[in-house]
Structure 1
């Protein structure tokens, strides 16, 4: 975190380097404020010291990219897998190289690929957990998620079209596909769009990826965001390292100047393609009737040419920059694709943390791992294991104190899209501002559990005349003075209510927002407001006001009001709920934060009635 100055405009921003992108030939640097808001400056306009710092960060990322590509290409080729059974589609070969941890089956239309989404070393014993590379190490922007095995099997398996067709209009990953997977690596690990759901942030440049280009989604699902070129070690030179979900293969690095027998022979196109890569990082190979997906040189190819395919690259888009093939896009992700699940709810980012280690803590047959991270120069750990059918998480802080949580896999947090549903059609051009999951207004899948399993919501009861209003809401819109766009210090909205039900002994207030990925963001929690009160003034926005007990928001985890500061265009809806209670809520000990979940659990049996108001707010445009 540092101060950045736009020397041209004089604007000063305190925040962290997030990403750098070339737009219309000019480098633009994205800075993330402490609030989570993102500011973009032309790099040339930065003060000299800030420009040098931005260039240093860019150079670091480029060096890492080159190192990863070099490591992948220098790895020895492994022994070839057993010959395929008669009738096996050619597309199955890269996945079958990772048996028994990846398996395939097929029908006339699809190749189905089953896996647990973890990067196993191929050829091991079923039920063991030995990985081909360490996960999570090197991440500097961590969402507090950890790798858990997924069940991409049966009806929830990955689907690769066996007869890919060129689409009349390609789908660009710069404009769509900000949710869900866009490809599947040969080791059964899904690959997501390198651009985050905000539609602008490069996950690699932002420090969100480990040394192999992966990280975990909100469903504790491990996945890549760049091409897994390290898999060449296992699939063999000239073989696909992944398949895009449109059915076209993804090969390793390509250089149009490379020649057979030359120093860059490893960058020749395995399919004989010589054209430069298009905007989606793909081109056509030489004509071949034996190439997977070609039928008479027309399906998946073009007249006089071979199969269309993608290549990896060391800079954006890193792999397929969209879908040249025919796909169905629904809610900004490719459909169909599997769903991921986690037994625990998604957590907020842990700013300033860096993951420094990930190792197994049990026998090869035991799913048990330890993730090490540093925060403020001190080490902490997340140790977790599957024991008696439940996940046990030990959170060990820098002082050695341990907090243990137990999660039941039979009540998972289900997410779409290969681990996170990041494969989310047609009109999905609006950048995502808050996650990789389905929109709140989507119909839930059958048997989907609530977004906060184990956290009972207070019953919603009606009481004649019991109503909530706010002088800071006009025509359904929240006053700008109550948002992060306020020119002064943002303040909590003034609330007023009338005609509480008979027997009311106290009130509680919560202001929250449900994101498109079903996460709950909380901006205000107030418990045990006296029964005689009929308003909560704007000045009563922090601890010590004498009116109720303030609880923790999810923005900065402080017991104060946190102003909405949504990212991305368009209105967001925030709900303010007033609870009439038959008794004061029993609050946790001082060492335990009073969160929304804690409050709702405390008042679930004492809520007489609720009154609520929905307010809208859209970020101010500059």
Structure 2
């Protein structure tokens, strides 16, 4: 997916790309007069055309169709974005991994004919995508969970309790990609259709994600949600929820996934001139203080913080080459040495 020209595209804000391709493309049909936004309709599980229309509507009605595209091929929808949301990012993180959010082309596949499986599926990467195009991971930051891990709260790997997340429920991962690990609070606040009936995302098994309550506004009773934080749904066959308590959001997938190894990942940045990529950051012991992420009018991004009385920073801005960024960093990971270089997607 090639990005549009930096200066001419309306999909760039403050010099950072929002998405390649402004047009919302949907190869599906709302035939037979069915309205996919009504919860009292017949099940959508055997209507790929209507599932496609509902995915499209969830993005449009939330107000993100200028930055997120949806295309359908009859078997799946691709929800494409650059994973870089408009809302505040990173500020307030204590358990930082010293990585920063850099736009990344991302096409999230959502099956149009989902089928519930017989056992939960996990992976050490995104399990879903929010309607603003940002990937959604499970609540942990310690690699893929085993079936046994699903049965117990992984407190030592809980990204919320270990203060690895910003106030919006996200952070930058090892690919310098922004993603959510818990309820995307800031995105939900931005949604034009925010409310219990609004879909906030789609899991990679094809089922929708709702907020803390049932779509009709009623409270979810203790024990209603299964191990993956979902429950049966009369319209979609099944649905996931966010929750105040762990696991906070989709913990695993209850639907069938053809080949989980084929689901997308964001690769780490690579040096513009070739050679080994950036090594992942190492969270400083005990966390950092006063981390602030700032987006400047000239396109620069800065993340500043302190650790044991010393000041550190990560500065980067778009380079002349599309998809590349000029970095200057002083991190705890690199023992305080100043590093410079140009890195690309």
Normalized against structure 2, the TM-score is what? 0.70
Q: How many residues align?
A: 270
Q: Could you tell me which residue of structure 2 aligns to residue 319 of structure 1?
A: 249
**Given the alignment, which residue of 291, 315, 321 partners 1:383?**
315
State yes or no: 1:254 paired with 2:186: no
Q: Could you tell me which residue of structure 2 aligns to residue 395 of structure 1?
A: 329
State yes or no: 1:281 paired with 2:235: no
Q: Which runs of 5+ in 1 are unaligned?
A: 1-81, 120-130, 294-306, 413-622
Does the 8 A contact of 2:98 with 2:331 survive in 1? no
Distance 1:308 1:379 in 2: 48
Q: Could you tell me which residue of structure 1 aligns to residue 15 of structure 2?
A: none
State yes or no: 1:243 paired with 2:202: yes
Query: CA distance change for structure 1 residues 386 and 317 in 2, over 3 Å: closer, same or farther?
Result: same
Q: Could you tell me which residue of structure 2 aligns to residue 163 of structure 1?
A: 113
Q: Could you tell me which residue of structure 2 aligns to residue 309 of structure 1?
A: 239
Distance 1:170 1:181 in 2: 15
Does the 8 A contact of 1:355 with 1:371 survive in 2? no
Q: Which runs of 5+ in 2 are unaligned?
A: 1-23, 31-51, 146-153, 271-276
Does the 8 A contact of 2:91 with 2:291 survive in 1? yes
The CA deviation at 1:86 is: 5.0
Distance 1:249 1:235 in 2: 18
Q: Secondary structure at the match of 2:211?
A: strand
Distance 1:224 1:369 in 2: 20
Q: Could you tell me which residue of structure 2 aligns to residue 184 of structure 1?
A: 129
Counterpart mapping for 1:504-519 below 5 A? none
Q: Could you tell me which residue of structure 1 aligns to residue 188 of structure 2?
A: 232
Q: Could you tell me which residue of structure 1 aligns to residue 151 of structure 2?
A: none
State yes or no: 1:347 paired with 2:301: no
Distance 2:290 2:64 in 1: 27
Distance 1:218 1:318 in 2: 22
**Given the alignment, which residue of 164, 174, 182 partners 1:208?**
164
Query: CA distance change for structure 1 residues 341 and 225 in 2, over 3 Å: closer, same or farther?
Result: same
Does the 8 A contact of 2:125 with 2:265 survive in 1? no
Deviations 1:70-91 (A, max 9, x none): xxxxxxxxxxxx9x99546211
Query: CA distance change for structure 1 residues 355 and 161 in 2, over 3 Å: closer, same or farther?
Result: farther
Does the 8 A contact of 1:220 with 1:341 survive in 2? yes
Q: Which has the higher contact order (CA 8 A, sep 6+)?
A: 2
Distance 2:331 2:249 in 1: 38
Distance 1:239 1:397 in 2: 40
Deviations 1:420-441 (A, max 9, x none): xxxxxxxxxxxxxxxxxxxxxx
The CA deviation at 1:162 is: 1.0
Query: CA distance change for structure 1 residues 268 and 158 in 2, over 3 Å: closer, same or farther?
Result: same
Q: Could you tell me which residue of structure 2 aligns to residue 92 of structure 1?
A: 56
Distance 2:243 2:295 in 1: 31
RMSD (Å) for aligned C-alpha atoms: 3.0
Does the 8 A contact of 1:91 with 1:162 survive in 2? no
Distance 1:207 1:188 in 2: 24
Query: CA distance change for structure 1 residues 337 and 402 in 2, over 3 Å: closer, same or farther?
Result: closer
Q: Could you tell me which residue of structure 2 aligns to residue 196 of structure 1?
A: 141
Query: CA distance change for structure 1 residues 325 and 378 in 2, over 3 Å: closer, same or farther?
Result: same
Distance 1:86 1:165 in 2: 21
Distance 1:89 1:394 in 2: 44
Normalized against structure 1, the TM-score is what? 0.40
Q: Could you tell me which residue of structure 2 aligns to residue 359 of structure 1?
A: 294
The CA deviation at 1:95 is: 2.5
Q: Could you tell me which residue of structure 2 aligns to residue 116 of structure 1?
A: 82
Deviations 1:59-108 (A, max 9, x none): xxxxxxxxxxxxxxxxxxxxxxx9x9954621122233312211111111
Does the 8 A contact of 1:141 with 1:354 survive in 2? no
Does the 8 A contact of 1:372 with 1:382 survive in 2? yes
Q: Which has the larger radius of gyration?
A: 1
State yes or no: 1:151 paired with 2:117: no
Q: Could you tell me which residue of structure 2 aligns to residue 476 of structure 1?
A: none
Does the 8 A contact of 1:191 with 1:224 survive in 2? yes
Deviations 1:572-620 (A, max 9, x none): xxxxxxxxxxxxxxxxxxxxxxxxxxxxxxxxxxxxxxxxxxxxxxxxx
Does the 8 A contact of 2:168 with 2:187 survive in 1? no
Q: Secondary structure at the match of 2:267?
A: strand
